[in-house]
Amino acid sequence: MDLKFDKEHVWHPYTSLSNPPEVYPVVGAEGCEIILEDGTRLVDGISSWWCVIHGYNHPALNEAILNQTKSFSHVMFGGLTHEPAISLTKKLLEIVPQGLNKVFYSDSGSVSVEVAIKMAIQYWQAQGHPEKKQLITIRGGYHGDTIGAMSVCDPISGMHSLFKGVVKEQIFSERPKCKLGKEWDDKFIHDLEVKIKRHQQDLAALILEPIVQGAGGMWFYSPMYLKRAKELCEQYDILLIIDEVATGFGRTGKMFACEWAGITPDIMCVGKGLTGGYMSLAATITTEQVAYGISTFMHGPTFMANPLACAVATKSLELLTSMDWQEKVLSIENILRVGLAPLASNKAVREARVLGAIGVVEMKETIDVAAFQKMAVSRGVWLRPFGNIVYIMPAYVISEEQLQKIISVIATLLDLDFFKKSTVSFV
C-alpha cells in the first residue's frame, strides 16, 4: 500500500497536513477485528466511530447489499420511490418512540441535524412566526461538522472559534450538572429554564443529545433533565430536537436514549448504527404536527434513501430486533463496569463511567493520541481517544475475551506518559 502517496495527497479527518500522525493500512475486517496489511489483527474497541454494531463483514448484511445490486443501486428519490425505502421506513416506525411517524432520509448524521434545524425553522415560518429561528442547546454538545450542526456544538470545545462570524451564534445553557444515577434537584434545570423563558419569542427549538453527550466529552446526565427539558419546550412553545445519531439503536441499553426519560421529541435524528456501519445513511423523523405544519420541505439530497443503504439498514434493524440485544448490551455494560472501576484509582484518571455499551475513562490531562494509538496497536487493540477521553464503544457481538483485552490494554497504557500533546481534537 502506498502510504507515502497517502501522506502527501490524502487528507484524513481532524489531522494536520504538515505533521500528520501515523495511519495504519487496512486490508480486511471481520467480526470485531480490523486486519492490517502486515497481518496484524486489532480488536476494534470503538466499532469504527460507533456504527459497526453487528461487527464487520456480516454475511446477512453482505447479502442484503449484493441482492439489491442485482436490481438497481441507485435512483433519485424525487418523484420516485422503491421497496428498500418503504421497508426501512416500516421497520423504523416499529421501534421509534410513539408519535414519530414521518421519515426524511439523508446522507449522514450531520446532515440529519441540518435537516432537523431546517424543519424547525420552516415549521415556525409556516405557522406565521418567522421570528422563531434561533436554537438553544447545552454546552458540551456535539452534533456534527456541517455549518448548521456546528452552530449547536459547544462554542469553546467545538469549532466556533475557527469560524466566528460565519457560523450562526446560538443560545447556550450550562452543561447539565446532574450526573446519571445521582439525586435530582430542580436547580439543575434552572439555567435552561431562565434562558428559554428569556428568548422564547425567538426560539424555534431546543436540540440535545439525550443522556449521553458523545464527542463533546462522553458526559452522562440524568434522564430527569431531559424529561424536564421536554416539559419546558411544551410550556414555552418550542420544538424539541433529539440527536440520537450516536445513542440510537441500543447503545445506551434502551433502543433510543430518550426512552430513559420516557419522552417523545418533536424531531429525532438517527444515523451511525442505522446501516450497521455498512453505508452512510441517516434519517430525521418527526411528528404529523411538524410534518403537516411544514407540508413541502425544502431539502433533497442527491443520494436520499439510496436503495443499497436502505436495503442494508433494513437488514441491520432486522438483525438487531431479532436478537436479544438488550442482554448483549447489559453483558457488555457489566464487563465494562467491573473492568474499568479499578482504573479510577489511577493517579492520571479523573473518572471512569459506564452506560450500556459505552465505557469512558476520563483523564486529568490531554492525551497524545498518536502515541497512545501506536502503543495500543502494538498490543493488538484499536482505540482512538480524543481530548482527555479514552472510551470503548464496541460492536454488540464482541466477545468477553476481546472486551477484556481492550480493558487490559487501557490499564497498561494508563501507566505510560501520553499526556504531552494531542494531535487529534475530536473523535
Question: Catalytic amino acids?
Answer: 14, 142, 243, 272
- Angle of CA points 276, 278, 281, to nearest 5°: 85
How far is it, in rounded angstroms, from Cα 32 to Cα 54?
Answer: 9
- Residue 32's region, left for phi above 0, alpha for psi from -120 to 50, else beta, is alpha
Question: What number of CA atoms fall less than 13 Å from residue 76's CA on the CB side?
Answer: 5
What does the block give as the cell for 357? 455499551
Judging by beta carbons within 10 Å of its beta carbon (0-12, 13-18, 19+), is residue 24 exposed, middle or buried? middle
With the CA atoms of 243, 246, 250 and 252 taken in that order, what torsion angle do they form, in degrees rounded to the nearest 10? Answer: -90
Q: 220: which 3 cell numbers?
A: 452522562
Q: Give the SS3 label for residue 199.
A: helix
* HSE-CB of 195 using CA atoms within 13 angstroms: 17
Cell 480488536 belongs to residue: 43
Q: Three-class SS of residue 266?
A: coil
User: Distance between CA 426 and CA 213 in Å, rounded?
Assistant: 13
CA angle at residue 88 from 87 to 89, to 5 degrees? 90
Here the cell at position 334 is 457489566
Residues 284 and 106 sit within 8 Å (Cβ to Cβ): yes
In sequence order, what are the beta bridge partners of 359? 354, 392
**CB 59, CB 71: distance < 8 Å:** no
Angle between helices 59-69 and 307-322 (to 10 degrees): 150
